[in-house]
Structure 1
């Protein structure tokens, strides 16, 4: 009705046209307010309703930048609008606004201004408490919030300078007003053990305390399977698999066991049974545990600490497939052909009894040494483990045939001292025992997607689309400089990627090329719209195998149970909204984990300032190059000003820096020696300078030269998530660089605050640095391989 009007429509008139009664009026106005918050409607100064698009307003979310400017990311997916420092004075990172394009900036980007603030995203912030000239301020840990928070004298909560605090915002920023807050929690000093995790939890708004209702419900969950639990599920019989020799295979430190497996030879093929914890039996739709699980979305794994999706009574207790106890499960029972193709499958609820808690190390030892001590210890299940391995080999051939992408990656494990800080970082090599479990999980997940499609039941799919045209163009351009081509022209398949990976396997720059291929791929998401999984080469794929630590899997379980009962599961939220929520929580967990790892690496490097190391150039940007140190698996920046007395120009096509006078070239994979010159715990950044190679004369010292500053972007991707996703890919694609990875015009007006002035002095460029293929592995990892 508003859309049909040629002028703004008063609220009273709209209410009259819709025959809204006095009793209905409060609900009507709340609905209008909600639509206004979402940007679907705009209420002008006279209280009349109008459509934002008719007044050329653009709804979207603000994305801040450490240098004080920002971007409006439109909801409709159109190009971002650059917001200058003056516009950013009104808002904080994450706020929802209506904006208006006012032209183009000096770099040709759309420039905008904020017309109206729809929703404030920040009510509390975590940051460092400071005293400057008698004024109390808090500097946010999230560097995308460049404004400093003023704290009135009576609102400091007795915080001391340098402490990490949580502030509640009592005054949001406006054009000429800085944000004001009160200290509501003092976390401690910056280098206190575990502080990096406390900061990450609050910086990324990770729910980490269960509600009283959820705790009360968890306390009532039984510790054992009862006879009543064995009754039919919505009329579907729960089968008894307690005599079947199912086993769990996980990492040494795992505590929550989602899945158990069993294989036996059947003719020329196999019977494969994948039993998954029946979390949906204990967590019902919209109860307290379900609500908290939906908010968390997934468990979050930090070094030496886990933030579980479910309380321990469920995650490590009644839901976990612990050995030698009865547990409820949902089963995918498959018939697999000799060539690794799934011929038939059947889902059903069951009760099981895990016969052994195996680890990857033990399984691999049993396979390599079938007469060794480990094999003798588990002789009852050894034949079934051997059948699992034979089945894995068939699955591997099927994967190669369908052209799934198989990236070779090196993972690392962080080892800690008694004070909770890194003692060393060591490489971890995955063996075929990891891949064996991965292939079993992939098979069950494919069947889960298939049953949803066959019964036309809505659900969440794990979708991984092919490369976007712009990323593909960048990749092809770089490959041309290396004398390589990617098949498939404008629409390459996973098989084209796999073929190129095989071609470059023996090249010295194979790791670099693999990283380039990885970065060209889209990020996997959860969505009710099935668009296939590009990396795995599957037309449909869903997550079914980790309901203890992933909410999408729990939703898929409910959908499958409804299908078995001849019903339809209808969640309280729309499937689209659930997909957005689950994708967001996954990215949030990755970002938080990456922050913690970056801090721990910096802490580890603190006492190495002045030391010289060898490494490889892992990324080249216009402002310098990132070097990955051998053995330490730590990266730092060699700023362009430290490369020598020359003008160095960045060649984006070749990803290299070339000296104008000397002709010296620095490119990816180059071997260099560097000296650690600065470690900044506050920003989690490490700076290097070049050191002379062995036997080469030392370069003269340049007085007064300060180490170049980094670009302010965390670049390493943990890639660690729960089991049963793109195992063929091996690890998650590095998260796409923020769309705000660029600086304003060179002569942008200086920031009004000290931090802004310091930041504007740094040289930050639009080109994001590449990530390396090495990702740290938490010492207490999820009981799962890396996924996409």
Structure 2
């Protein structure tokens, strides 16, 4: 690799391919992306790190770049289907951002068969006049095999999915149950009725809770115990299990499958707080006032015994009816659950006083059959039991952040900053355009957002307004610099409650233990260059700025803080990677599901507006698709950025976030993970206005380029053709073309003079 030094007019960037053949350069310096034309993309690959420069600007002033040098080509495998065309073997990448097929010599096929999904390693890079060449390193199977979409996603996003032999051996060597020697230095809580409350399909149990009335100061209140699995007792810094866990940084959740951060013996066994067995735990023991304020807290290692494994549905039923059948089966625990509900209401009231932002959003759950086919998509409802556990976990997380601050040791905080300057301006303009009558200040507080949400909750466009409030927020990250949590309105916040599935929580446990012992937790040396840590930390550092630093009296060297910052970046990057992989699989499954509903009509609501159309989420399916601007009517549509809506200039018809529409499923692109809808109107179709478009001009091209004003004719709606109809139609078209060709040829021959 060559030097990454650049001249003033040059910059370093990461190539982001596009399925249409062109690409973009994501600049390291945070400046706007630079367009890369298709001819420049021929010699580079998606995800390449390059040195480039700007060579021209288009009529809108947008820059176009040229690649000068390839700095780094990540050893990322390419996944695709093996095909044979005219005796030539090639692999068509599943990720269309790669843009080029990979040629495979006959010696590089191995045991793969045509049509199978394979993993390819490049042996020759692409060039301006040559395609990339590779060899098959792994055969995943047939494209329709159950779970194939997950196998593709874990490799496509580089998710570690196999534990090292050393990690498996270390896990196997661990005991199957708590040892007597492990209890000696711990508080014995086995007689305390701690219980777990999780979903029906949960297999690992991070947390257990218990609550009882208590004297708090001179008043009444509760003693709330949150016991968290003590993963740090078994996973030591730098051992084989720890190395694998750090590389993964998080468990990844797919429909019907989980890729855990820890080996199963730990995640589902020794660390999991399973019912009626002894387990080691770290406890946050809190005294909470009737106003929901944590009056005092302490942390300590303990040994516990889970007295029951509850589900959210069961607890919600008990809390709503203490004389029902669920309560009768659990009569010994009903009083404890009522105490938990009481402390939850107090904590919830304090949340309101604090001004924390609380938007109700709809999450969905994909229900699959044994073959991996979607049976239905249902909303994941949050009942009172979910909120009880959520408030208890939030309280423990806040205490852990405060404990680390008081201990003056570095650690990882969960930081969520307020809106950026750009997002503040967009939100202000939107609120003004919608006539809300309220806005946010230059230094907005969470209470301002909550006040706007509360004031507009009864408006017809409430969902639209709340969506815009939510979109103005930034993503939360892990960092050693405490910047507070804007959304939750906490001055300091961290993650303590899920060490089985999140590596930052494991680090927080280690820091808390070090403070309790009067020592200091030292992060291990950074991995060698080329490992996942260094790569992902570097990539995220290019996109995420460190939050505003608040004064901290931390006893740590600059080297230590750099190590913690790198760890935070690594964990944040892997969190994003896990989310992207999960969304990719869900999108594939939804596309596969919607292929069975081509031509059907559904009601839905607009969830986003762009210059090229509207995105609609179906009521019954909870699936999102695009209604392209060419389907909205035969007139100019102007995109109003302030109102986030498309408006027809002739009819005045508007499509905004929250608008209800009826659509027909017109097209499903499984490879592109895209679903297209066609707008359905009541009554007769709008007449198509004559346009001055030249022959051959595609009206949607202007929309795709980002123009705000687009004139489009409304195409006639028709039912999707079946395969047989399409074949007949194609035959007729070919026959017509041949007849015309023959007639033209005859006319030409008749007028041609004979040769001499």
Q: In structure 2, what is the equivalent of residue 689 of structure 1?
A: 678
1:650 aligned onto 2:639: yes
Find the counterpart in structure 1 of residue 53 from structure 2.
100
Aligned pairs for 1:212-611 within 5 A: 212-231=165-184, 237-267=185-215, 268-572=220-524, 573=526, 574-611=563-600
Identify the residue that residue 704 of structure 2 maps to in structure 1: 764
**CA 1:580/1:422 → structure 2, altered by over 3 Å: closer, same or farther?**
same
Residue-by-residue CA offset, 1:309-358 (whole Å, 9 max, x unaligned): 11110000000000111000011111111211111111111110011101
* Alignment map for 1:132-171 (pairs within 5 Å): 132-157=85-110, 159-171=112-124
Q: Is the 8 A contact 2:27 2:33 kept in 1?
A: yes
Shift of residue 103, structure 1, vs aligned partner = 5.0
Instruction: Provide, for residues 557-591 of structure 1, a one-character-per-residue CA deviation record: whole Å limited to 9, x for no partner.
Output: 11111111111111123111111110011111111
Deviation at 1:230, TM superposition (A): 2.2
Shift of 1:240: 0.8
| 8 Å CA contact 2:637, 2:648 repeated in 1 | yes
> What pairs up with 1:56-71 in 2 under 5 angstroms?
57-71=10-24
Distance 1:201 1:384 in 2: 42
Going from structure 1 to structure 2, the CA distance change for 1:655 and 1:309 (only over 3 Å counts) comes to: same
Deviation, structure 1 residue 56: 5.0
Q: Quick one: which of 595, 619, 623 aligns to 1:630?
A: 619
- State the structure with more CA Rg: 2
Cα distance in 2 between the residues matched to 1:114 and 1:568 = 47
- 2: CA distance between counterparts of 1:247 and 1:311? 24
Partner residue in 1 for 2:657: 668
Q: Give the Cα separation in 2 of the matches to 1:76 and 1:348.
A: 45
Q: Deviations over 1:91-127 (max 9, x none)?
A: 2222223333445444323443333322211441112
Q: Is 1:677 aligned with 2:630?
A: no
Among residues 67, 76, 80, which one is paired with 1:114 in the alignment?
67
Distance in 2, matches of 1:661 and 1:569, equals: 67
Query: How many pairs align?
Result: 659
Does the 8 Å CA contact 1:123/1:169 hold for their aligned counterparts? no
The separation in 1 between residues aligned to 2:438 and 2:121, in whole angstroms, is 52
Q: CA-to-partner distance for each residue in 1:470-511, whole Å, 9 max, x for gaps?
A: 111112212222111554322211000000111111122222
Q: Which residue of 1 aligns with 2:41?
A: 88
- Assess if the C-alpha contact under 8 Å between 2:356 and 2:489 holds in 1: yes
Change beyond 3 A, Cα 1:310–1:767: farther
Q: Deviations over 1:173-204 (max 9, x none)?
A: 23443221112222223232211111111111
Instruction: Flag structure 2 segments of 5+ consecutive residues without an equivalent.
Output: 527-562, 690-696, 709-756
Q: Mark the CA change 1:448 to 1:766 in structure 2 (over 3 Å): closer, same or farther.
A: farther
Number of the residue aligned with 1:771: none
Greater Cα offset, 95-104 or 315-324: 95-104
Cα distance change of structure 1 residues 56 and 697 upon mapping to structure 2, 3 Å threshold: closer
Which piece of structure 1 moves more, 352-361 or 84-93? Answer: 84-93
Q: 1:56 to 1:570 in 2, by over 3 A?
A: farther
Q: Tell me how far apart the structure 1 counterparts of residues 362 and 25 of structure 2 sit (CA, whole Å).
A: 37
Structure 1 unaligned regions, length at least 5: 1-32, 43-51, 232-236, 703-746, 748-757, 769-788
Cα distance between partner residues in 2 of 1:164 and 1:699: 46
Aligned residue runs from structure 1 range 689-768, under 5 A: 689-693=678-682, 696-697=683-684, 764-765=704-705
Mapped to 2, the partners of 1:508 and 1:432 lie a distance apart of 26
Scaled by the length of structure 2, the TM-score of the pair is 0.83
Q: 2:91 & 2:476 partners in 1: Cα distance? A: 36
The answer to whether the 8 Å contact 1:656/1:667 transfers is: yes
Relative to structure 1, is the Cα distance of residues 672 and 567 closer, same or farther in structure 2, using a 3 angstrom cutoff? same
Q: Partners of 1:631 and 1:640 in 2: how far apart? A: 24
| Cα distance change of structure 1 residues 575 and 486 upon mapping to structure 2, 3 Å threshold | farther
* 1:195 counterpart (142, 148, 158): 148
Once residues 125 and 603 of structure 1 are traced to their aligned partners in structure 2, the CA distance between those partners, rounded to angstroms, is: 22
- 412-421 vs 81-90, which moves further: 81-90
Distance change >3 Å, CA 683–CA 60, structure 1 → 2: closer
1:784 — aligned with what? none
Instruction: Report the CA distance between 1:55 and its aligned residue.
Output: 5.9
Asked if 2 retains the 8 angstrom alpha-carbon contact of 1:59 and 1:96, the reply is: yes
Greater mean deviation of Cα atoms: 99-108 or 342-351? 99-108
Q: Is the 8 A contact 1:207 1:295 kept in 2?
A: yes
SS where residue 635 of structure 2 aligns? coil
User: Structure 2 vs 1, CA of residues 766 and 168 (structure 1 numbering), >3 Å: closer, same or farther?
Assistant: farther
Contact 1:624 1:639 in 2 (8 A): yes
Provide the rounded CA distance (Å) in 2 between the counterparts of 1:94 and 1:124: 11
Partners of 1:66 and 1:533 in 2: CA distance: 37
Normalised to the residue count of structure 1, the TM-score between the two structures is 0.80
Q: What is the alpha-carbon root mean square deviation over aligned residues?
A: 2.4
User: 2:29: which partner in 1?
Assistant: 76
Question: Contact 1:92–1:122 (CA<8 Å) still a contact in 2?
Answer: no
Q: Deviations over 1:232-261 (max 9, x none)?
A: xxxxx3111111111111111111000001
Question: What displacement does 1:665 show?
Answer: 3.0
Question: What per-residue deviation string (whole Å, max 9, x for no partner) do you get for residues 342-380 of structure 1?
Answer: 111111111100111011111111211122222222222
Shift of 1:602: 1.3
User: Which segment drifts farther, 505-514 or 656-665?
Assistant: 656-665
